[in-house]
Amino acid sequence: MVTVGAVPLDAGDVDARLARFALSVGELHSRVVLPAYELSGSVTSFHPRSERGRVFYAEATAGLRRVCAARGWRCDDTDGVARAVSPAGDLVVVAATGNEFTGDPRADAAVTTMFDHGPKLLDGVVAEPGYTFDEIIPEAFPFPRFVPAPPSREVWLLLLHRAGGEVRIELSRPTGRDISGFPRLFAKRIIVPSLLTGDTDVADGFDLGDGNIDVPVLGR
């Protein structure tokens, strides 16, 4: 039997905050995290080291999108990023592997994904215009400067981190990427009670691969 941990004192009414995402704590535990945890447990030492993490990520993504789809959300896999998109298209949730600070309400500056990500993960959140001639030689190109458009939608990450005896969970909204490609800082964080597993194995060989990759399309 899996026991659920206590709600963090500063998390407020977590279910109320999750309602706009068509989610609840109970559904995240029973229909997203627990099935992913149990299915990944069937992976043996004969499998590749990354298989346990791949299975966990894939099933967590599927569970998230099953729950959301029942409330009218749709699946979007554009550019290799597996998204759940709200009916209005202005809200996006993506499952990802969080680092060791996931679920810690004191770790605002430290929490991020376990792996770096390409810009498509935050598509619609931040504009990355690069350099233009007027920025390099403004006197020779007296054109109006590029002004990034305001965010067209909110992208939230369902961060999951398996530690000894629990899976830590949070749903958080990154504002952009750092120089290494990691999503941060987070404008808002919803700390979800951890799913207690009783497993004392701290993920030996547990390489949680996200699968959130930007797939280039090359000309033939």
97-118 burial code (b ≥16 CB/10 A, e <16): bbeebbbbeebeeebbbbbebb
Q: Which domain holds residue 20?
A: 3-196
Query: What average pLDDT does the segment 120-145 reach?
Result: 58
- On whether residue 207 sits in a domain, the answer given is no
Are 50 and 209 a contacting pair, CB within 8 Å? yes
Pull the structure tokens for residue 136. Answer: 């390099």
- Which CB contacts under 8 angstroms, 24+ apart, belong to 83-90? 86/22, 89/153, 90/152, 90/153, 90/154
- On whether residue 220 sits in a domain, the answer given is no
- On whether residue 61 sits in a domain, the answer given is yes
Cα gap 65→123, rounded to integer Å: 19
Number of domains in the chain: 1
Sign of CA dihedral 76, 78, 83, 86: negative
Pull the structure tokens for residue 160. Answer: 């999951």
160 pLDDT tier (thresholds 50, 70, 90): very high
What are 78-118's pLDDT values in tens digits?
888 999 999 999 999 999 999 999 999 999 989 999 988 88
Strand, coil or helix: what is 197?
coil
Are 92 and 153 a contacting pair, CB within 8 Å? yes
Q: In the chain, how long is the greatest CA-to-CA distance?
A: 70
4 pLDDT tier (thresholds 50, 70, 90): very low
- On whether residue 39 sits in a domain, the answer given is yes
Are 159 and 169 a contacting pair, CB within 8 Å? yes
Cα gap 10→122, rounded to integer Å: 27
181 pLDDT tier (thresholds 50, 70, 90): confident
Query: Which amino acid type is present at position 64?
Result: L
Q: How large a percentage of the chain has pLDDT more than 70? A: 72
